Amino acid sequence: MRLGTVLGMMAGIVGAATTALAAPAPAPASSTGPMATPPKLVVVISVDQFSFDLYRTYAPTFTGGLKRLSAGHVFTGYQSHAATETCPGHSTLLTGDHPNKTGIVANNWYDRQTGSNLYCVSQTGTSDERAKSNALLKVDTLGDWMRSAQGDARVYSVSGKDRAAIMMAGHNPNGVYWWDDGFGFTTSSFAGPDTPATRAPAEAFNQRVLADWAKTPPALWSAGTAATCLSRTRPFTVGKTTWTDTVPPQTNAEAETGDGWLTSSAFAAELRASPLFDRTVLQFAAGLLDQNRLGRGPGRDILAVSLSATDYIGHRFGPGGAQMCAQMAELDASLADFFARLDATGAPYVVLLSADHGSIDVSERVGPPSLRIEPNTTLRELGSFLRKTVGLEYDPIVSADPRQLVLGLGPVDDQRRPEITRAIVDWLNARPEVARAFTAAEVAAAVPPKAKPVEQLTLAERFNESFDKDRSGDIMIAWKEGASLGIPGSISDTVAGHGSPWDYDRQVPILVWWPGISGKPQARSMETVDIAPTLAPMLGVTAPAGIDGHCVELGQGCKR
C-alpha cells in the first residue's frame, strides 16, 4: 500500500486506541493536605521538547491527562545547563546531577581517543546494530539507589528513543525498552536484562500491533483535532521549501508500494512525527504496568516513560503551528487513557511529568525579520580566517557539533594550541551571529556558586553545568538568541530545534500529582536535578550525598 494512501485515509480511519482516548477519564476527587499514603509506584514521564512556554500556551485547552496533572503542584522547571538536548536532559531527570557529572554532554560528542563521534548510548566492541548501552552514564539513578537499598524494588523504562529510555533506566533496571523502526519495541543486554522473559512483553506487543497495522493502516493523526487547530495554520518558507502547516501534514515522504510499506523508512518517519507514536509508547507502558503488577508487589516500583513525538513534530514543523496544536490535544487525551489504567490498578501512586529540554518556534514563522543562521557557513569563513591569519593550511575543526568545536591540530601546531584557540574565540566573538564563545578553560573555571538562583546563571556557568573535560569541546558557542540553525533541504528536514543555553530551551514544566492532592502553581522554580531527591523520600530512599539537586518539600517529608 502506498504511504500516501495511508496519509489520505487518516481522516476516516480512527483506530481502537484513538476511540478509547475520546472520553478522558475523570481524575479522582481531590482533598487538601500532604501525601496521606506513601506511594507504591512512582511514574516519571518525560515529554521530549515540552517547553514551559508550550505548556503555558495550551494549558487552558487541556481536558484530559494534562489537565489532571495541572491540578497538582506546577513548577517552572529548568534544565539549567547549556547542552539542552535529549540525552543530556534525560540524564538529569532521575540522577540528581547536571551533565557535567553524568558525563552526558550531548547526544553525540567527539571521542578524542578513537577520532570519531560517539553516540551517548553507544556500545563499543560489538557488531550488533541494535546494541545500546548505559556504560557512558557516569552516575546512578533514583532507580539504582532504590534497587540497591530495597531488594524487592523494581524499575522499568520505556521510550520511543533508545537514549531517553536508557538514561532514565540507569544501570540496574528490571526492563528497559525503546522503539526500533520496522521492528517494534526492543532492548539490549548492554542496557538491562535481555532474557526471553524480558523480551516476551515486547514481542507479544509488536506482533499484535504490527499485525493490526498491516490489516488496517493506522490513523497517525486524529480527525477530530484538525478543525480546532485551523486558527494556528501559518505557512512559512525556509530557503526554497514551503511548509503548508496542515493537519494531517503534507510531506514529501516517498511513496511506498507493496507489502513493505509498514517497515519502510518513509512510514517510520511519518510515525515518529505523529501523535500515534506517543499513543503506542503509552499503550506498551500500560501493558508493562499490568503484566508486572507494578505498584501491587511487595516492594516499591518506578515506571519511567519518555514520549518522543512532540520532539519530532517540533523539529519537523516547529512548535508554533497547527501540527503542534493537534499534538498537544492528542497527548492530553493519550495521557488520560493511560491514567485511567493507573487508576484501575488501585495502587497508591505519584506521577511527575517534565521534559528533557524546551524549544523555540521557526524563526520564519515568528518573523519578520527571521533569524536563521547557517553554522557551516560561519565555520567555512573561520577556515579562511585561520589560513590567512593564523597560518593553518588545513581545517582544524574535527567535530560536527556547531555548539562545541574540537580542534584537531598537528604536532607542530599543537604547540600553539592556546594561541590558536584564543584567535578562534576572538574571531567568533566578533561575529554578529554569535552571542558569545568561550574556551574550555573559561567554561571549566565558571563554576556556579551553590546558592545562586538558576535564573541568574551566566552563559559561562550554564556551559559549565554540561562540561566534561574529556568529552566536551575546546570551544563552546552560544549562537544568537532566538535564532533557528541550518537551512533544510526538504520538507522532512528539521526546521526548528533546540540545544541552546537560552531560557526557551532551558525552561520546562515540572508537574507533580497524586490522588487526593490539592496543588497549586508554585512561585519558586525547580530544577530537573531536584526531581530524584524530591521523589526519593516517597520511595523510602536516601539520596546520595553530594548530588547537585535537593529535595523540594511537597508534603512527603524531606530530610534536612
The DSSP result for 107-161, as a single string, is: SEEEETTTTEEEETT--TT---TT---STT--S--HHHHHHHH-TT-EEEEEESS
Where along the chain do its domains lie? 3-366+505-539, 372-481
Task: Give the distance from CA 473 to its chain's centroid.
Answer: 22
**Residue 239 pLDDT:** 81
> What is the per-residue pLDDT across 439-497, written as a single tens digit (0 to 9) for each?
999 999 999 998 899 999 999 999 999 999 999 999 999 999 999 999 888 777 899 99
Mean per-residue pLDDT of the chain: 90
Give the three-class secondary structure for 291: helix
Query: Which is catalytic among the residues 86, 280, 310, 421?
Result: 86
State how far the Cα of 101 lies from the Cα of 110, in Å rounded to an integer: 18
State how far the Cα of 481 lies from the Cα of 366, in Å rounded to an integer: 13
> What is the per-residue pLDDT across 384-413, written as a single tens digit (0 to 9) for each?
999 999 999 899 999 889 999 999 999 999
Name the band, by pLDDT with cuts 50, 70 and 90, for residue 366: confident
Known catalytic residue at 187: no
pLDDT of 15 higher than 90? no
State how far the Cα of 384 lies from the Cα of 349, in Å rounded to an integer: 59
User: What is the arithmetic mean of pLDDT over 501-524?
Assistant: 91
> What is the per-residue pLDDT across 230-270, written as a single tens digit (0 to 9) for each?
888 888 888 888 888 888 887 645 445 556 888 888 889 99
pLDDT of 10 higher than 70? no
> What is the per-residue pLDDT across 422-455, written as a single tens digit (0 to 9) for each?
999 999 999 999 999 999 999 999 999 988 999 9
Name the band, by pLDDT with cuts 50, 70 and 90, for residue 50: very high
CATH number of 3-366+505-539: 3.40.720.10
The helix/strand count (H/E) of the chain reads as: 21, 18
Same fold across 3-366+505-539 and 372-481: no
**Residue 16 pLDDT:** 34
> What is the per-residue pLDDT across 264-295, written as a single tens digit (0 to 9) for each?
888 899 999 999 999 999 999 999 999 999 99
Give the three-class secondary structure for 243: strand
State how far the Cα of 281 lies from the Cα of 159, in Å rounded to an integer: 6
Is 3.30.1360.150 the CATH number for 372-481?
A: yes
**Residue 270 pLDDT:** 92
Name the band, by pLDDT with cuts 50, 70 and 90, for residue 228: confident
pLDDT of 174 higher than 60? yes
Tell me which amino acid residue 264 is. S
Indicate the burial class of 239 (C-beta count within 10 angstroms; 0-12, 13-18, 19 or more): middle
**Residue 30 pLDDT:** 37
